[in-house]
Structure 1
Amino acid sequence: MLLALLLCYAGFTALCLSMDRHHGALLHSKPSPRRRLGLRVGGWVLLLVSIWPAVHMAGWSRGLVDWCAVLMLSALLLVWLLPYRPRLALILASVGLLVSPVAAFAVI
């Protein structure tokens, strides 16, 4: 479930950064249309890929339920961090993407 959590959090952070308001608050610039599209596509791809470890570990019936719980947990964590610790939200997403290959080997 760790891999699914890391991917979901990174996906939600990418979707968050694709919005002008959050991108400006976190990175102090407006995203270009190309960057905005890349962040949106990357965020959705990460969210879709995060289904795989959940289903792989627990099967389709339980895995989808676990994946929904991980989705809610990662979104809740991001929503709590954005107003109070925005830099920590970015750091966690970056570290999550760096650690996810290690977590992927634990799943396999």
Structure 2
Amino acid sequence: MLIAMLMCYAGFTALCLATDRHHGELLRSKPSPARRLGLRVAGGLLLTLAIGPAVWLSGWAQGLVEWCAVLMLSALLLVLLLPYRPRLALILAGVGLLASPVAAFAIL
């Protein structure tokens, strides 16, 4: 479930960066329309692809329940970090993306 958690957190962070407010707060610039679209697509794709590891490990019935739990936990973590430690939220998303392949190989 670690890989699903990392993917969900990165996906929610990408969706968060697609907004003007959070993009400006974290990256000190306003996102262009192309960047905004790219972040939305990447965020949605990461959230959707996170279903794969959850279902592969636990089957469809339990995997979807675990995926929903991971979605809620990663969103809660991001919501709690953004007001107090916004840079840490961004760093964790980057580290999570870099650690995802390692977590994928740990499953095998």
| Superposition TM-score tier, normalisation by shorter sequence | over 0.9
| Residue 99 (structure 1) aligns with | 99
Q: TM (normalized to structure 2)? A: 0.99
Which residue pairs with 2:79 in the alignment? 79
Q: Give the structure 1 partner of residue 14 of structure 2.
A: 14
Q: Distance in 2 between matches of 1:106 and 1:51?
A: 17
Aligned counterparts of 2:47 and 2:107: Cα–Cα separation in 1: 17
Alignment match, 1:42: 42
Aligned to 2:65: 65
Structure 1 ranges of 4+ moved more than 3 A:
none
The unaligned stretches of length 5 or more in structure 1 are: none
Aligned residue pairs total 108
Question: Any unmatched runs of 5+ in structure 2?
Answer: none
| Structure-2 residue corresponding to 1:51 | 51
Q: What is the identity, as a one-letter code, of the residue corresponding to 1:86?
A: P
Three-state SS of the structure 2 residue aligned to 1:31 is coil
Give CA-to-partner distance per residue, 1:3-35, whole Å, 9 cap, x none.
000000000000000000110111111000000
Q: Percent identity?
A: 76
Which amino acid in 1 is paired with 2:74?
A: S
TM-score by length of 1: 0.99
Q: CA RMSD in A?
A: 0.5
Q: Match of 1:94, SS? A: helix
